[in-house]
A and B are shown apart, each in its own frame.
Chain A
Amino acid sequence: MPTSVYLSNPSVTINSVDLSDQCTAATITYSVEALENTAFGSTARTYTGGLANNSVTVTLYQSYAGSETEVSIYSLVGTTTTLVLKPASGAVSSTNPSYTLATAYLESHTPINASLGELSTIDLTFTGGTLTKATS
C-alpha cells in the first residue's frame, strides 16, 4: 500500500542549536558525483562513483532576538559545522531516521531579507561534508 509523508514536526538542529520552530523547509541532497568511465568497446555510457557532494538547504524565519535565528547563524558564515535533521522530533528509529551532515560549509547568509508586509525569512545552503544516517 503506498504511503505519503506529511511532515508537520520535523527536527532541524544547526550547530547544536534547535531551530525547528523557526524552520519552514528543509532539503537534504545526498549526492555522489558520477565519473564517466565509458571506454572503447562500450555500447552505452557508464559511470563510477566519485566524491560525495552533499548539501542541506533550509528556510528559516528571521529573528534578531536573543537565542533566535540571527545570533545562531551569523557567526557560521565562512566556517563549517554540523547539522542534524529528522522527519519528526521523537526518538531516532527506523521510521524516524536521523541525518547528520558533518563539516558542512556555510558560504553565505542574508541578515536582512525583508519585503513590506511579509515575515522575513532566510534561505541557507550548507555544502560539502559527510552525510550519515542513523536509525537507532
Chain B
Amino acid sequence: MYIIVSPRLGTPGDKFEPADGINVQALIDGGLISTDKPKKSSKVKEEPVEE
C-alpha cells in the first residue's frame, strides 16, 4: 500500500493506487509517495517449556 506525499499526485495522506505502467519505485525514490508497511504483530513467542 502506498500513501501520497506530494500534492502533485493527489491529496497527501490518501492511499495511492498506481495505474498500469506507473514507475512506483521512481515515485518512492523521489519522496512523492511512501510505503505504508503493515505493522508487525506485538505477539511475543513464548519460551519453550523444558521437561
Which residue numbers of A lie inside 8 Å of B, CB to CB? 15-19, 66-67, 71-72, 74-76, 79-82, 102-103
B32 partner, pick from A71, A79, A82, A102, beta carbons under 8 A: A71
B interface secondary structure, majority: loop
Which residue numbers of B lie inside 8 Å of A, CB to CB? 5-9, 16, 18-23, 25-27, 29-32
B19 contacts which chain A residues (CB < 8 A)?
16, 82
A67 to B7, CA, bound (A): 8
A interface secondary structure, majority: mixed
Total number of residue pairs linking A and B with CB closer than 8 Å: 58
B31 contacts which chain A residues (CB < 8 A)?
66-67, 71
Q: Please, which residue of chain B has its CB at the minimum distance from the CB of A76? A: B26
B26 partner, pick from A19, A67, A81, beta carbons under 8 A: A81
Q: Please, which residue of chain B has its CB at the minimum distance from the CB of A83? A: B21
Question: Are A19 and B8 interface neighbours, CB within 8 A?
Answer: yes
Question: Are B22 and A15 interface neighbours, CB within 8 A?
Answer: yes
A66 to B12, CA, bound (A): 13
A67 contacts which chain B residues (CB < 8 A)?
5-8, 31-32
